[in-house]
Amino acid sequence: KNQVEQSPQSLIILEGKNCTLQCNYTVSPFSNLRWYKQDTGRGPVSLTIMTFSENTKSNGRYTATLDADTKQSSLHITASQLSDSASYICVVSATTGGGNKLTFGTGTQLKVEL
Amino acid sequence: EAQVTQNPRYLITVTGKKLTVTCSQNMNHEYMSWYRQDPGLGLRQIYYSMNVEVTDKGDVPEGYKVSRKEKRNFPLILESPSPNQTSLYFCASSLTADTQYFGPGTRLTVL
């Protein structure tokens, strides 16, 4: 069964600090991995997408890494800001005969405090 | 502005009273999908549509119906809502099944 597990479940950090969120998956056959940011009360917004051959992808202060061998991904946030407070969702896509099938993680709830 | 819109944003109803949540996108996307999001469970796919008149079940389709008569619209229908369908619902669209743009969400409470 395809699964995506994220850790930690929640995290509180001080403004300006860095943090790293983890995503482990057992999805096959792997197509790509995407990180979404979901602000409270809003729909998820895509941050990065990585295919099998990509190890790192950056989007401003967000840097995602992918190790396809160990089936792990991380999202590193540099110099955190209050606006980074949100849920971060890892989504892994599997290639199927009927098109790509998405498996969602349950998210990491990040709170950035002063 | 490219966007996915949902209506209503908030809805409180009673058990058994049929309701429809509308979803519309202006990006000419072929793929549209409905999700529900519950605490601790993440996003779960209810139904999806690869194109007009083509719909298929997702992971949790029971109690829901959809239709895709036009490319831009993908309404979610609850024929007889029950309290366990109280949830936050998201519509999404994309050119393919991967790069999804999500709507703002509809918070549904069934009493």
Which chain A residue lies closest to B100 (C-alpha atoms)? A46
Handedness of CA A16, B42, A9, A27 (dihedral sign): negative
* Per-residue pLDDT of chain B in tens (111 residues, 90 and over written 9): 779 999 999 999 999 999 999 999 999 999 999 999 998 888 999 999 989 999 999 989 999 999 999 999 999 999 999 999 999 999 999 887 567 899 999 999 999
Distance CA B71, CA B54 (A): 10
Contact A99 B99 (CB under 8 A): no
Distance CA A32, CA B1 (A): 27
With beta carbons less than 8 A apart as the criterion, state whether A77 and A108 touch: no
A16 in the Ramachandran plot: left (φ > 0), alpha (ψ -120 to 50) or beta? left
Chain A CB contacts of B102 below 8 Å = 43-45
Which of B40, B42, B103 minimises the CB distance to A43?
A: B103
Count other C-beta atoms under 10 Å from residue B19's C-beta.
17
Between positions 72 and 101 of B, the ones with CB within 8 A of A are 90, 92, 96-100
